[in-house]
Amino acid sequence: MSTPRGFVLGLDLSTQQVKAMVLDDELVVLTEVHVHFDKDLPKFSTQGGVHIHEDKLTVTSPVLMWVEAIDLALERLVQSGVDLSQVAVLSGSGQQHGSVYWRQGARKTLRNAAASSPLHLTLQGCFSLDEVPVWMDSSTATECRQLEQALGGAQSLADITGSRAYERFTGNQIAKVYRTWPRAYEDTERISLVSSFAASLFLGDYATIDYSDGSGMNLLDIRKKCWTQRCLDACAPDLAEKLGELVPSHTVLGPVSSYLVQRYGFSPNCQVVAFSGDNPGSLAGMRLQAGDIAVSLGTSDTVFLWLKEPRPALEGHVFCNPICQEAYMALICFKNASLTRERVRDRCAAGSWEEFSRALRATPPGNGGNIGFYFDTMEITPPAVGIHRFNTDDEKVEAFADDVEVRALVEGQFLAKRVHAEGLGYRTEPETRILATGGASSNKDILQVLADVFNVPVYTLDTANSACLGAAYRAKHGLLAASGLSFSAVVRTAPPCQLATWPSQDSAKVYAAMLERFQRLEQTFVGPCRP
């Protein structure tokens, strides 16, 4: 089989920066550049890449800042000495849920963009909103309620679109734009996600939304892979037309624009593969496989699941899988994560991770029947707050001994991940691996508890760049998918993850019994879900 060869370009348009990486044909990183919105483009006066409005709920970014940042990233790639004419294919990841509103006539301007002038000048009059909503926006509670009502309730909406209504999800954002600025909405010929918007800049034409990022809109039927007319109608008029078609995430959209060829020396044969969301991008960057689960342990903890069958619930999100068309992925966020681990470390382990680890080693799996739930702030999964400790007779207690407290926290956090992952359809399979990432994944004793609670081996990998790498991997997959190659076959040359630990003997039995108790105890203090 002849394989198209050449460099691969991956881009990540995140909240705070644009990152671009060029990889060689074996998927080894050759060069990496960043453009930080606040630092490199101070004229837009963003903080963390966004503007937080007076109501504290509305959060936007200037769309022209993104255009300028992408140009700057490409300039920096050229300055780094990389020969962009060698790039055979490119793709990207974008922060999920944000939306861009192209004004009537913008397509023509985009198609005809001349290389003599930077794109942000050419596109100046092309957007019906200069400031666009991003994923941090939570100003659409009214629209969420309306959408859930129109679809017959939160679970019915989740059954179709993979998630109940969330403020940041794009359908609700579009509904707010229509309600607040009907003229601007009417004057819009195309609505892009951040991902398909960035792809449009590379393509020199409107890029289609891919199934995976499209799943973060509360509009797409994740099984049928098409827009749900009832959802579109509940959000705004003529929406199908403004959103355009949907495509599988590995779709080759076409060659790069003549703007890119002339301004940066790209080959006219360089292909653009559909861009997707940053979380789908990370799943690709981590090279998750069927049965795997990825656990990112950071400021917030995030769990990614590879699902064969979608089982949407009132918590978490189910998206179409970006690297396997028949599969799905789930995303679950836990807000009380490393800050809570640090608080308990400071109080019960003299502020030392070594002491924290010693406490874990000094206490047995199952913690002698003691179970704790630690929510310093209102948790997302489950919606609950406060510290809840139970002894072996399921009686509420006020305190644990220091070592018991440390284990109760770590076990509680991992039991919650397993319980809520199972709620979304996760089942341990013989080949299941946990891929652990984030700050706390460097602590072997924490990882041992993770392996024991799930009863599967834990691997680690460096994923600071997972969304960007994932974009590059997906790009190459897009180029080769037509010849029948699977994603995992395409990325086999990329650096592998490292085995960190195996589950210890007998822990499976201990935690199987504990899971059932954990779930029951959680129900005793969880408040009702959002109205």
Binding residues vs ligand XUL (CB under 6 A): 14-15, 95-97, 135, 168, 216, 277-279, 331
Could you tell me if 426 and 407 are in contact, meaning their C-beta atoms sit under 8 angstroms apart? no
Q: Which is nearer to ligand XUL, 89 or 318 (CB)?
A: 318
Q: How far is the CB of 247 from ligand XUL (least distance, A)?
A: 20
Q: How far is the CB of 486 from ligand XUL (least distance, A)?
A: 26
Q: How far is the CB of 467 from ligand XUL (least distance, A)?
A: 8
Q: How far is the CB of 450 from ligand XUL (least distance, A)?
A: 21
Q: Which residue has the tokens 């919650």?
A: 416
- HSE, CB side, 13 Å, CA atoms: give it for residue 64: 17
Two tokens at 11?
Answer: 């881009």
Q: How far is the CB of 297 from ligand XUL (least distance, A)?
A: 15
> Is the N-terminal amide bond of 365 cis, ω within 30° of 0?
no
> Burial, 223: exposed, middle or buried (Cβ in 10 Å; 0-12, 13-18, 19+)?
middle
Two tokens at 56?
Answer: 């504290």
Q: Which is nearer to ligand XUL, 277 or 382 (CB)?
A: 277
Two tokens at 15?
Answer: 């909240």
Q: How far is the CB of 164 from ligand XUL (least distance, A)?
A: 13
Question: How far is CA 489 from its chain centroid?
Answer: 23
Could you tell me if 404 and 445 are in contact, meaning their C-beta atoms sit under 8 angstroms apart? no
Of the candidates 508, 502, 406, the residue with the CA atom closest to the CA atom of residue 453: 508
Q: Which is nearer to ligand XUL, 15 or 172 (CB)?
A: 15
Of the candidates 530, 166, 514, 163, the residue with the CA atom closest to the CA atom of residue 373: 514
Q: Which is nearer to ligand XUL, 122 or 173 (CB)?
A: 173
Q: Which is nearer to ligand XUL, 323 or 332 (CB)?
A: 332
Q: How far is the CB of 527 from ligand XUL (least distance, A)?
A: 22
CB atoms within 10 A of CB 326: 8
Q: Which is nearer to ligand XUL, 30 or 57 (CB)?
A: 57
Q: Which is nearer to ligand XUL, 128 or 212 (CB)?
A: 212
Question: How far is CA 340 from its chain centroid?
Answer: 22
Q: Which is nearer to ligand XUL, 380 or 515 (CB)?
A: 380
Q: How far is the CB of 190 from ligand XUL (least distance, A)?
A: 21
CB atoms within 10 A of CB 26: 9
Two tokens at 520?
Answer: 């029951």
